[in-house]
Structure 1
Amino acid sequence: MDIRFQEVGYTYQKGTPFQSRALHDINLSIKDGSFTALVGHTGSGKSTVLQHLNALKKPTTGTVTIGDRVISNFSEDKGLKTLRKRVGIVFQFPEAQLFEETVGKDIAFGPKNFGLSEEEGLAKAKELLPLVGLDESFLERSPFDLSGGQMRRVAIAGVLAMEPEVLVLDEPTAGLDPQGRKEIMDMFYSLYQNKGLTIVLVTHQMDDVAEYADHMIVLEGGTVKREGSPRELFKEAGWLSSMQLGVPSTVRFAHELEEKFQWTFDPLPLTTDELAEQMIQKLGDSAGDVL
């Protein structure tokens, strides 16, 4: 399911003395089956765009097309509940949204609201737990007795229980240590590959963008400044710095090696594996030149 923004603008508290323009002239497309990263510094408009992806907000101007549904400022609310089932959002610190007495009931809550029986909802919870790295023994446990990372996995399972076609991740690794961040992101990437989900990642973590995304959209001042593949955009370290954004650690290290040894990396390495492979090749070539 594609999502397309056409000339989208959004103003908070429009028509009041407190009105504030958050978005203007937004044109972007999120293709079905893509893994898109939405980046920008605080205040760039990421959170407001995110809330348009499943019509939590309606554009003040322009249109947002979600699948075959066109949303404008004049759209009725009828049918939006079904639409929001197709686009699931994992908000920052999703564990704060847990409230049921058991893990199984918490995961089953959404499906029950869409007509499943409690038994069917619990069966779905049992099916989903392995996908988020938890086993069946968690079903009867209280979510509030779990670790922070486990609570986050339960909350994510609750979103997946709605069987979304698009999964929107709002800073999904916030507050996690490097190992926990990698485990969560690997889990999402596995879902992307094996379940055919479209993923939209809203993040400040450029290493995650480099490792997982195939498309990147840069927001600044409430509009799209540039979009393209991560490999294309990370070549422009100076421009990203002007947008108050960084580059992945591998790209930064590659640039340092280029300056020190006059190397040229082609293509630009985005992951540690890509960097190591090219470094081995260049060191081998240097050894051959000496011999």
Structure 2
Amino acid sequence: MDITFDHVSFTYQAGTPFAGEGLRDVSTTISDHSYTAIIGHTGSGKSTLLQHLNALLKPTSGSVTIGDRVITAETNNKNLKPLRQKVGMVFQFAENQLFEQTVAKDIAFGPKNFGASDDEAAALAKQMVTLVGLPEEVLTQSPFDLSGGQMRRVAIAGVLAMQPQVLVLDEPTAGLDPAGRRDMMTMFERLHETQGLTIVLVTHQMDDVADFADHVLVMDQGALIKEGSPREIFADPDWLRAHQLGLPKATAMAEQLMAKGFRFDPLPLTSDELADQLLPQIGGAHHE
């Protein structure tokens, strides 16, 4: 299921003295089965863009086509429930949305809300808890007795239980330690590969963009200012710095090494790529 933005602009509190521009003339397509990262500094329009992916917000002008549904300013709010099921949103600190007495009930809440029977919802809860890498025995526990990382997995399992085609992740590793972050990102990669999910990731972690994404959208002041593969986006470090964006660690290190006379083509994005290009040059240095 593709999601296509066609000249989408969005104004907060349109027609009031407090009107503010959220999006400016954005046109792009998030392709089915892609892993798209959205980057840009705070206030660049990333979250506003996300909320158009399942019609939480509707364009002030332009249209968003989600699968076969076209959303415009005139779209009636009544029949948007099926869309919310197809596009699952995991907001920052998703564990704050947990509220049921047991993990099983929390995961089953969404499916039941969408008409699943108790048995179907319970079966889904069991399946999803395993999918997010938690042991089945947590199903009977209170989500509030779990660790922060586990609680976040339960919240994600609740979104996955709706069986979405698109999983939208807003800073999903915020507040986790490095090991927890790595586990979480590996889990999303697995879901992308095994479940065929389209993933849309908003992140400040450029390493995650380099390691996992196949397409990158760069937002600035509500406008889409650049898009392309991670290789294309990170090929111009000066441009990224001018837009207050960082580099993957390996790319930043390669840049420092270039100042010392090392050569890289293309600029490495990951530590493996850095090592592959660096080793022959270090090895060669001994033979001069």
TM bucket normalised to smaller: over 0.9
State the alpha-carbon separation in 2 of the partners of residues 221 and 127 from structure 1. 41
Aligned-pair distance for 1:117?
1.5
State the alpha-carbon separation in 2 of the partners of residues 4 and 126 from structure 1. 34
Q: Find the residue that maps to 1:139 and give its secondary structure.
A: helix
Aligned-pair distance for 1:19?
1.1
Instruction: Give the equivalent residue in structure 1 for 2:202.
Output: 202
Aligned-pair distance for 1:255?
0.7
- The aligned runs of 1:92-111 (5 Å cut-off) are 92-111=92-111
Instruction: Give the equivalent residue in structure 1 for 2:82.
Output: 82
- The aligned runs of 1:266-285 (5 Å cut-off) are 266-285=265-284
Q: Which letter does structure 1 place at the counterpart of 2:74?
A: F
Aligned-pair distance for 1:137?
0.5
State the alpha-carbon separation in 1 of the partners of residues 117 and 67 from structure 2. 28
Aligned-pair distance for 1:284?
2.5
State the alpha-carbon separation in 2 of the partners of residues 13 and 256 from structure 1. 46
Deviations 1:36-80 (A, max 9, x none): 000000110001000000000000000001111110001112321
Instruction: Give the equivalent residue in structure 1 for 2:177.
Output: 177
Instruction: Give the equivalent residue in structure 1 for 2:147.
Output: 147
User: Tell me, which stretches of 5 or more residues in structure 1 are unaligned?
Assistant: none
Aligned residue pair count: 288
Instruction: Give the equivalent residue in structure 1 for 2:44.
Output: 44
Instruction: Give the equivalent residue in structure 2 for 1:246.
Output: 246
State the alpha-carbon separation in 1 of the partners of residues 254 and 277 from structure 2. 10
Instruction: Give the equivalent residue in structure 2 for 1:231.
Output: 231
Q: Which letter does structure 2 place at the counterpart of 1:86?
A: K
Percent identity between matched residues is: 61
State the alpha-carbon separation in 2 of the partners of residues 233 and 136 from structure 1. 41
Instruction: Give the equivalent residue in structure 2 for 1:35.
Output: 35
State the alpha-carbon separation in 1 of the partners of residues 2 and 206 from structure 2. 24
Q: Which letter does structure 1 place at the counterpart of 2:285?
A: S
Q: Which letter does structure 1 place at the counterpart of 2:105?
A: K
Instruction: Give the equivalent residue in structure 1 for 2:135.
Output: 135
Aligned-pair distance for 1:3?
0.6
State the alpha-carbon separation in 2 of the partners of residues 37 and 97 from structure 1. 24
Instruction: Give the equivalent residue in structure 2 for 1:11.
Output: 11
Q: Find the residue that maps to 1:269 and give its secondary structure.
A: coil
Q: Find the residue that maps to 1:101 and give its secondary structure.
A: coil
Deviations 1:19-38 (A, max 9, x none): 11111111111011110000
Aligned-pair distance for 1:115?
1.3
What do you get for the CA RMSD once the two structures are aligned? Answer: 0.9
Q: Find the residue that maps to 2:116 and give its secondary structure.
A: coil
State the alpha-carbon separation in 1 of the partners of residues 203 and 192 from structure 2. 17
Q: Find the residue that maps to 2:78 and give its secondary structure.
A: coil
Q: Find the residue that maps to 2:37 and give its secondary structure.
A: strand
State the alpha-carbon separation in 2 of the partners of residues 251 and 149 from structure 1. 29
Instruction: Give the equivalent residue in structure 1 for 2:57.
Output: 57
Q: Which letter does structure 2 place at the counterpart of 1:140?
A: T
Aligned-pair distance for 1:281?
2.2
Aligned-pair distance for 1:221?
0.9
Q: Which letter does structure 2 place at the counterpart of 1:265?
A: F
State the alpha-carbon separation in 2 of the partners of residues 4 and 222 from structure 1. 17
Aligned-pair distance for 1:180?
0.7
TM-score (norm 2): 0.98
